[in-house]
Structure 1
Amino acid sequence: MRINKYYLAAITAFAMWGFFSLALKPIHHYPSLDILFYRVFLSVMLISAINLFIRKNVVLNDWKNFQSKPKSERGKMLRINIGGGLLLTANWFIFIYVMNHISVKAASFAYLVCPILTTVLAFFILKEKLSKWQWMAVGISVTGCVLLSFNSFADIFYSLIVALTYALYLVFQRKNTEVDKFVGLNIQLLTSGILLLPFFPSFSGPVPAEGLFYICLIFIVVMFTIIPLFLNLFALKGVNSSSVGIMLYINPIINFLLAVFYYREEVTEIQMISYSLILISIIVFNEKLIFNRKLKELPVSE
């Protein structure tokens, strides 16, 4: 089995996100909106500082490239990056709310539905082709999700919104090939920050005084925001959206294992069967990679 750097980036990103609850649960008593405010604002400050002081030449090159494009191309570049920021903002807020106020398993379920939505959206929007094995994997994962929905029907509404926002983000970022990935991420986070800033004075709570909040926030910003998002965008340079989407299953599987063995949430036999089917679907979807069959390489955008 040979995993190229793009697959490795996607696997690493989703594995990191699988442990998100370890940084989020200790501050669950803070309002979801407050956590989102501080997560976005600190992320914007950190990534902007890196781009302005360490990667200034890259930013200038991207700006010159942007100015050289026709008006229609500039509009497309802005829509993809600003739209990405809007989708991330919606995804993060709803995910934090579900994780802290519904259950870890409900949040996991959202990212079980997401790969299916990503694969279907990529098929219709990006015209990405899937093999018979990959369609079979989608069918297996659908079966697993349907079984889970019997026990979590009340949570499906939240889960579908979380899933749809991130699925759309993945699909449209596949088209984001004109901007450096770290600069693009900066634009998206800045968009999110500008969107949230007017609401901060009215909807934020008292400034947190607990040291634990800021320790967890630093982990959330660095380990569960900037690094995995960058890896995710990097992976989309060499792996199609449906393949990256199906690897999202790594996230909820880790979430589920934490919910069962660490948070001691109750688990049923149906849930065990469902997650087993989902694990099988990952193997089936990536059978060419796993069993060293010849892969059709995607053109890599630099």
Structure 2
Amino acid sequence: MKKYKYYFAAFTAFFIWGFFSLALKPISNYPSLDILFYRVFFSVLTMTAINLVFRQKNIRKNWNNFKAMPQKRKRTIVVLTLAGSLILASNWFIFIYVVNHINVKAGSLAYLICPILTTVFAFFLLHEKLSKWQWVAVAISAFSCTLLSLNNLHDIFYSLVVASTYALYLVSQRKNSEIDKFLVLNIQLLFVALLILPFYPKYSGAIPTEPLFYACLFCIVVFFTIVPLFLNLYALKGINSSTVGILMYINPIINFALAIFYFKEQVTLLQMISYSLILVSIIVFNQKIIFAKKNKSKTIVEDSKSL
């Protein structure tokens, strides 16, 4: 039962991220680098304020725990945290560029490839085990992504880069579990902010004055950065990287639906079949927990009838 909350956290994170394009598209006339600058800076300010005002005891507790760790483990945590921040920043910039300057479907394709790459990285780097049914689900996903790439060869390079960066982030943070996740995320974003700050004066455009930009930015920072990233990192405490990765398919399915029904992008029958196969793969990959819950409920009902 305890693991259900981690599944729910991962599901909620990717469900929220599925609507990310709604906040990005209205400000697509702004340079991708500008959006990245403001997203990072405002996220850091918001999270730092929350930690300093409401979570001082938590900070002290985590700092004391960190000081008590062996030197080798300290170095590992520092490396994983800082490396994760660089990978995450790269993923953000490339994704913003793809959605605003390639197309929404290219961004969606990236997060279709990402679960497969996450599973592969987790298998080789973390030695995570997968059941027979989970490998079947991965095979279905790989086949559906291959079908999609046949008509999207132009987009496949961008999709692979976006997918590989986020897959590496997930896998790296799976081993970074001792420190509070909200605090880790704050440190990562603070590190990214310090790195990109020197480039801001030279590479940023004029300071935006449109209220729409700041309204969209608020949504991006709170609803599409802090909340889902925290839920994602929290989920990694209780379930493995492969499972979190496969639940990522919720994101592109919603993204694909938005591309069709909201942004009116053209789709083919092949794409419809591919996305249907991906939905099947999610069910197959998580069949153990889905049908275990169903069977448990059935057993309870039968036991109550016997009484």
| Structure 1 residue 243: Cα displacement | 0.2
Match of 2:94 in 1: 94
Q: Does 2:285 align with 1:285?
A: yes
How many residue pairs match? The answer is 295
- Tell me how far apart the structure 2 counterparts of residues 239 and 150 of structure 1 sit (CA, whole Å): 33
Match of 2:304 in 1: none
Match of 1:26 in 2: 26
| Structure 1 residue 277: Cα displacement | 0.7
For the pair shown, which has the larger CA radius of gyration, 1 or 2?
2
- Tell me how far apart the structure 2 counterparts of residues 264 and 86 of structure 1 sit (CA, whole Å): 34
Q: Does 2:146 align with 1:146?
A: yes
- Tell me how far apart the structure 1 counterparts of residues 98 and 177 of structure 2 sit (CA, whole Å): 32
Percent identity of equivalent pairs: 65
Superposed CA RMSD in Å reads: 1.5
- Tell me how far apart the structure 1 counterparts of residues 197 and 240 of structure 2 sit (CA, whole Å): 34
| Structure 1 residue 254: Cα displacement | 0.2
Deviations 1:94-137 (A, max 9, x none): 00000000000000000000000000111111111001100000
The answer to whether the Cα contact below 8 Å between 1:3 and 1:289 also exists between their aligned partners in 2 is: no
TM-score by length of 1: 0.95
Tell me the amino acid that sits aligned with residue 70 of structure 2. Answer: P
- Tell me how far apart the structure 1 counterparts of residues 259 and 111 of structure 2 sit (CA, whole Å): 14
Match of 1:256 in 2: 256
The answer to whether the Cα contact below 8 Å between 1:2 and 1:290 also exists between their aligned partners in 2 is: no
- Tell me how far apart the structure 1 counterparts of residues 2 and 179 of structure 2 sit (CA, whole Å): 29
- Tell me how far apart the structure 2 counterparts of residues 177 and 276 of structure 1 sit (CA, whole Å): 34
Is 255-264 or 55-64 further displaced after alignment? 55-64
- Tell me how far apart the structure 2 counterparts of residues 84 and 10 of structure 1 sit (CA, whole Å): 18
Structural mapping, 1:111-126, within 5 Å: 111-126=111-126
Tell me the amino acid that sits aligned with residue 285 of structure 1. Answer: F
Match of 2:213 in 1: 213
Match of 2:247 in 1: 247
| Structure 1 residue 192: Cα displacement | 1.3
Match of 1:298 in 2: none
Deviations 1:253-277 (A, max 9, x none): 0000000000000000110011011
- Tell me how far apart the structure 2 counterparts of residues 194 and 249 of structure 1 sit (CA, whole Å): 32
| Structure 1 residue 63: Cα displacement | 1.3
The structure richer in helix per residue is: 2
Match of 1:235 in 2: 235
Structural mapping, 1:1-302, within 5 Å: 4-292=4-292
| Structure 1 residue 2: Cα displacement | 10
- Tell me how far apart the structure 2 counterparts of residues 285 and 168 of structure 1 sit (CA, whole Å): 20
- The list of structure 1 runs, each at least 4 consecutive aligned residues, that deviate by more than 6 angstroms after superposition, is none
Tell me the amino acid that sits aligned with residue 128 of structure 1. Answer: E
- Tell me how far apart the structure 1 counterparts of residues 102 and 275 of structure 2 sit (CA, whole Å): 19
Is 205-214 or 190-199 further displaced after alignment? 190-199
SS for the counterpart of 1:291 is helix
Tell me the amino acid that sits aligned with residue 256 of structure 2. Answer: F
SS for the counterpart of 1:292 is helix
Is 191-200 or 94-103 further displaced after alignment? 191-200
Tell me the amino acid that sits aligned with residue 249 of structure 2. Answer: Y
Note closer, same or farther for the CA distance 1:215–1:33 as it changes in structure 2 (3 Å cut): same
- Tell me how far apart the structure 2 counterparts of residues 217 and 183 of structure 1 sit (CA, whole Å): 22
Give the gaps of 5 or more residues in structure 2: 295-307
Is 270-279 or 191-200 further displaced after alignment? 191-200
- Tell me how far apart the structure 2 counterparts of residues 61 and 76 of structure 1 sit (CA, whole Å): 19
| Structure 1 residue 70: Cα displacement | 2.3
- Tell me how far apart the structure 2 counterparts of residues 239 and 53 of structure 1 sit (CA, whole Å): 31
Tell me the amino acid that sits aligned with residue 214 of structure 2. Answer: Y
